[in-house]
Amino acid sequence: MSVVKNAAQGGGWTRFVTARPRLSLLLALLVTALAVFAGSGAADRMGAGGWQDPAAESTYATEALEREFPASQPNLLLLLDAGPPGVDEPAAAAAADRLARRLAAEPGVTGVGSYWQTRSPALRSADGRQALIAARVTGDEKTASETLGRIAPHYRGTHGPVEVSLGGPVAVQRAMTATVQEDLVRAELIALPITLVLLVLVFGSAVAALLPLAVGIVAILGTNAVLRGLTEVTDVSVFAMNLTTALGLGLAIDYALFIVRRFREELAAGHDPRTAVATTLRTAGRTVLFSALTVAVSLSAMLFFPQYFLRSFAYSGVAVVLLAAAAALVLLPAALVLLGERVNALDLRELWRRRRAGRPEAAVTEGAGWLRLSALVMRRAPVFAVATTAGLLLLGLPFLDVRFGTPDDRQLPRTAEAHVVQQHIRDGFPGSPDGELRILAEGPATPAQFEEYRGRLTALPGVARVDGPVRSGEYAAFSVLAKGEAVGRDAQALVAKVRKVEAPFDTAVTGRAAVLVDSKDAIAAELPRAAALIVGATLLLVFLLTGSLLVPLQAVLLNALSLTAMFGAVVWVFQDGHLSGLLGFTATGDIETTLPVLMFCIAFGLSMDYGVFLISRIKEEFDRTGDHEEAVRSGLGRTGGLITAAAVILAVVMVAIGTSRVTNTKMLGLGIALAVLMDAMVVRSLLVPAVMKLTGRATWWAPGPLRRLHDRFGLSEGESAPAPATAAGPAAVGEEAAEPAAEAAGPVPERVG
């Protein structure tokens, strides 16, 4: 713990950065250049899966069936459309036969079969115009995708009387990876210019506005290098790239806003640039460090879960948070030392300020909005506390009807080839191939024993048909076609029933419903440990920052409450399909199992980010004045506009991510954006001051042993060298709070010469 406090004190690194700013910048640029080289091609080595528990029964069964019965486990489908003549017309059959033989000869492809070979009704559409060629592309996810990329151009398109389209799991995964990469580039092109404009409005100075972007770019490039290295030793999901961009920009901007704002305060108080940076690092720098730790801990909780989809977000999230904090605490202070007063150069709001000249009363009235709001909230604290809490709980009610499912091709845009093929199969082909349960039977058995087992399966309620067994040495395979939805409650219940059926050999069950059941069980098993880490670490870190017993409890409860709107909106929009036309996605009637866990960890961490900034400033004011209500009022006045500006900018980045054509990424971006705005504009602005008013001075109480623990190991933003009276006195509090919200991060014009 003393290591954390010593790091927060900033002695060594503060002296190094302020004494050798050019060397610090040179080292940062060198590391960034190496990261560009090391991180190149990272996305191409990532996967688009990772939703399964690798230790689950369904995973074992899937791998064994793929190995022993490749023809029964196709992952590539060629949809042949023969038009009105139909697929049984001789010319169409001949073309299909040529394609099947050619596909069977391709390296990396096995288990080729077709409707024309088997005459299976399941491989022919009800209207007779379409039929399927099925195959197994061998190798892991990356190898299979590369094989498909090599052969697809030779099969897609017109072949005599038939038109060929490609679908199946391997085509869906390849399309998902390509779409995510394209969408990420578009999101960056949207977010960067808008973010720059907003930063100019917040900072005023174009020079200051560019600093957070530089910090964010360093964090993103560094994280790409980390992820590229991880792909050499473990699976990493391509979806994690979205989090890298969002948090790299968002948190870099948050941290830079608070550091630059504090630096400008110190300049305005008459300090030289080196002293201003040193004081900034001892105060705002500590808050940034603690904020980064709380966000990193929240994201690291996803390491408990076995699905590499979730673990990938922990890798990228922790890396980008720590790199953003490192860049903000090393690169940014070095730049500020060199810039000095020039950090205010190219002030694009000068014309606006001139128009306001001679009207100080207007500035005071407009800027005092946060002070008036905090005063109003505290005067009516019970009303605001009850009304806000009730409103947030009401917004979260739809989540009580959440239904979990597994991702499929409907994550892709409706026009994507793989989605179109799978939709044709769902709509036009008999049966429900997605709803099949596949059973691996392992061990010696007689035909009579197999038949007896098959009869027990057939007798289960909810079973439409049982096929098999198909034999391969000591292995056999059965398929069970369930009635109703592929992954509905009945299908999940059937998984449990099938697994309980007695057999004279070992069995393992897989299929979409089985994968869903195993994923839910894996998440449920690890959820208590993940929650304990998040809550325990948050309580500890906020206690070290405040020395209070009650404030950490408030932080955890209010943060959780701020997420209700996000979870309610996820179900109402993405599960139930409201606004699906406007937002351009296909509603499937369920939510992918890992998404709520992922969104909770990210949103909770970001909420704590803003919570730490607000609480640390309130604590500083309370330590300085001893007046609890004035501390809350002044703390909100000093940080309200800043937190709101940071939240709006982060929301813009998340909305840009939410423009993705992949539904899960859209859900993640828009959901987190909503959570961030609700936290900053409702919880931090209304609920926190109301609750702190109700708890009064007891907010800061702690028993004797905990107080002594905090005296030894704790810290706060207020632990700085005494500031000049012009910066710390009561007049300065009211004066700064009275600035416009848009200038909360900017200089005080009258005091910056």
| DSSP output for 511-576 | SHHHHHHHHHHHHHHHHHHHHHHHHHHHHHHHHHHH--SHHHHHHHHHHHHHTHHHHHHIIIIIIT
The number of beta carbons lying within 10 Å of the beta carbon of residue 451 is: 11
The pLDDT value recorded for residue 742 is: 35
Query: By C-alpha distance, which of 254, 262, 258, 329 is closest to 295?
Result: 254
Q: Which residue has the higher pLDDT, 519 or 744?
A: 519
The pLDDT value recorded for residue 566 is: 95
Amino acid at 232: E
DSSP class of residue 40?
A: T
And the tokens for 102? 């050619």
Distance (Å, whole) CA 608 – CA 598: 16
The pLDDT value recorded for residue 521 is: 95
Question: Judging by DSSP bridges, how do beta strands 157-159 and 130-137 pair with one another?
Answer: unpaired
In terms of average pLDDT, the best of 170-179, 365-374, 640-649 is 170-179
Distance (Å, whole) CA 59 – CA 509: 9
Mean pLDDT over each residue of the chain, to the nearest integer? 85
And the tokens for 208? 């200051």
CATH of domain 75-167: 3.30.70
Query: Which residues are registered as beta bridge partners of 465?
Result: 481
CA distances from 247 to 198, 383, 721 (A): 17, 35, 32
Give me the mean pLDDT over the 101-108 stretch: 94
Q: Which residue has the higher pLDDT, 454 or 32?
A: 454
Q: What percent of the chain has pLDDT over 90?
A: 50
Query: By C-alpha distance, which of 82, 113, 110 is closest to 97?
Result: 113
Distance (Å, whole) CA 698 – CA 510: 55
Query: By C-alpha distance, which of 563, 571, 640, 603 is closest to 392?
Result: 563
If pLDDT is split at 50, 70 and 90, which confidence band does 727 have?
very low
DSSP 647-701: HHHHHHHHHHHTT-SSHHHHHHHHHHHHHHHHIIIIIIIIIHHHHHHHHGGGGG-
pLDDT of residue 7 exceeding 50, the answer is no
The residue behind tokens 């632990």 is 719
Task: Return left, alpha or beta for 584; rule: phi > 0 is left, psi -120 to 50 is alpha, else beta.
Answer: left
Q: Cα-flanking dihedrals φ and ψ of residue 563, to 5°?
A: -90, -5
Give me the mean pLDDT over the 156-160 stretch: 94
**2-48+175-348+361-404+518-743, CATH topology level:** Multidrug efflux transporter AcrB transmembrane fold (1.20.1640)
Q: Is the peptide bond before 382 cis (omega within 30 degrees of 0)?
A: no
The pLDDT value recorded for residue 302 is: 95
Question: Judging by DSSP bridges, how do beta strands 591-592 and 404-405 pair with one another?
Answer: parallel
The pLDDT value recorded for residue 668 is: 94
And the tokens for 353? 């300020």
pLDDT of residue 384 exceeding 90, the answer is yes
Distance (Å, whole) CA 180 – CA 238: 7
Each residue's pLDDT tens digit, 387-436: 999 999 999 999 999 999 888 899 999 999 999 999 999 889 876 556 68
And the tokens for 455? 């009869």
Distance (Å, whole) CA 681 – CA 633: 16
The pLDDT value recorded for residue 378 is: 92
Comparing 78-82, 299-303, 431-435, 537-541, which segment has the lowest mean pLDDT?
Answer: 431-435
Residue pair 482/491 in contact by the 8 Å Cβ criterion: yes
The pLDDT value recorded for residue 434 is: 61
The pTM of this model reads 0.85
The residue behind tokens 């007779």 is 128
Each residue's pLDDT tens digit, 556-584: 999 999 999 999 999 999 999 999 999 99
The residue behind tokens 């007798």 is 459
Residue pair 58/514 in contact by the 8 Å Cβ criterion: yes
And the tokens for 670? 């828009």
And the tokens for 714? 């704790």
Each residue's pLDDT tens digit, 8-45: 444 566 677 777 888 888 888 888 889 888 888 888 88
Counting every residue written for the chain, the total comes to: 753
pLDDT of residue 351 exceeding 70, the answer is no
pLDDT of residue 675 exceeding 50, the answer is yes
Question: Judging by DSSP bridges, how do beta strands 76-81 and 130-137 pair with one another?
Answer: antiparallel
pLDDT of residue 670 exceeding 90, the answer is yes
Residue pair 316/324 in contact by the 8 Å Cβ criterion: no
List the domain boundaries for the chain.
2-48+175-348+361-404+518-743, 75-167
Half-sphere exposure of 748 (CA within 13 A, CB side): 24
